[in-house]
């Protein structure tokens, strides 16, 4: 048997707690206020999605959300859910509850375009303040954080409308005439 020695290093949680207690309360409050302000600023004015331009010509693409399973998928009990190689389309089991409109919230003509669309749509900004537009229009407004939606659907220009067509999505980049 080898010799054992007592652990002589301090508990990390206790070290952090001690250091925090050593900081004057006013300094902690100032830092907390600064963090709050920075977070609120990011929420009110997120960074624009990079690489998105104003649509100058109509472009329509069809997106198939199907995936091919690259390994067998089982539940907690070992029951097979999907076999490797199976093609799964989520739109076979569910559907979009509404269409999506992606646009630049800093352009009045894009806002007017979104308001003119008939049907049920979620508004998603690629630029501008979703909170400000939500207050102005009295409806939920989202933001394409990090450009996830634009990348996923290969959107390069706005305004853009996404509608479900059967088991696929129709993605239309739409120029606004006369602007």
The residue ranges of every structural domain in the chain are 12-44, 53-64+95-173
Q: Is the pLDDT of residue 77 over 80?
A: yes
Q: Which pLDDT score is estimated for 1?
A: 63
Q: Are strands 160-165 and 168-173 parallel, antiparallel or unpaired?
A: antiparallel
Q: For residues 55 and 126, what is the distance between their CA atoms, to the nearest angstrom?
A: 13
Under 8 Å between Cβ of 161 and 174: yes
Residue 88, number of CB atoms within 10 A of its CB: 14
Question: Residues 21, 25, 30, 33: is their CA dihedral positive or negative?
Answer: positive
Q: For residues 124 and 102, what is the distance between their CA atoms, to the nearest angstrom?
A: 5
Confidence of residue 7 (pLDDT cuts 50, 70, 90): low
The percent of residues in the chain predicted with pLDDT above 90, rounded, is: 64
Choose between 40 and 52: higher pLDDT.
52
Choose between 166 and 33: higher pLDDT.
166
Q: Which pLDDT score is estimated for 17?
A: 81
The percent of residues in the chain predicted with pLDDT above 70, rounded, is: 96
Helix, strand, coil proportions of the chain in percent (round to 5)?
Answer: 35, 25, 40
DSSP 61: E
Q: Which pLDDT score is estimated for 179?
A: 46
Q: Is the pLDDT of residue 75 over 80?
A: yes
| Terminal Cα-to-Cα distance of the chain (whole angstroms) | 83
Q: What is the pLDDT of residues 92-150, one digit of tens each?
A: 989 888 999 999 999 999 999 999 999 999 999 999 999 999 999 999 999 999 999 99
Q: From edge to edge, which strands make up the β-sheet containing 121-127?
A: 59-63, 168-173, 160-165, 99-104, 121-127, 141-143
- Residue 138: phi, psi to the nearest 5? 65, 35
Q: Which pLDDT score is estimated for 34?
A: 83
Q: State the pTM of this model.
A: 0.73
**What is the pLDDT averaged over residues 11-22?**
80
Q: Is the pLDDT of residue 40 over 70?
A: yes
Q: Is the pLDDT of residue 178 over 60?
A: no
């Amino acid at each position: 048997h080898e010799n054992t020695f007592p652990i002589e290093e301090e508990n990390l949680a206790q070290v952090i707690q001690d250091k925090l207690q050593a900081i004057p309360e006013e300094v902690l409050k100032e830092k907390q206020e600064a963090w709050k302000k920075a977070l609120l600023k990011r929420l009110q004015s997120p960074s624009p999605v990079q690489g998105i331009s104003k649509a100058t010509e109509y472009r329509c693409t069809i997106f198939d959300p199907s995936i091919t399973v690259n390994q067998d998928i089982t539940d907690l009990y070992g029951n097979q859910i999907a076999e490797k190689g199976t093609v799964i389309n989520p739109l076979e089991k569910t559907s979009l509850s509404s269409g999506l409109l992606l646009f630049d919230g800093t352009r009045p003509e894009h806002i007017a375009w979104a308001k003119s669309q008939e049907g049920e749509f979620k508004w998603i900004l690629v630029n501008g303040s979703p909170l400000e537009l939500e207050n102005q229009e009295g409806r939920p407004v989202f933001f394409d954080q990090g450009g996830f939606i634009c990348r996923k659907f290969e959107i390069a220009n706005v305004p853009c409308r996404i509608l479900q067509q059967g088991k696929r999505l129709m993605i239309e980049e739409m120029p606004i005439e006369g602007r």
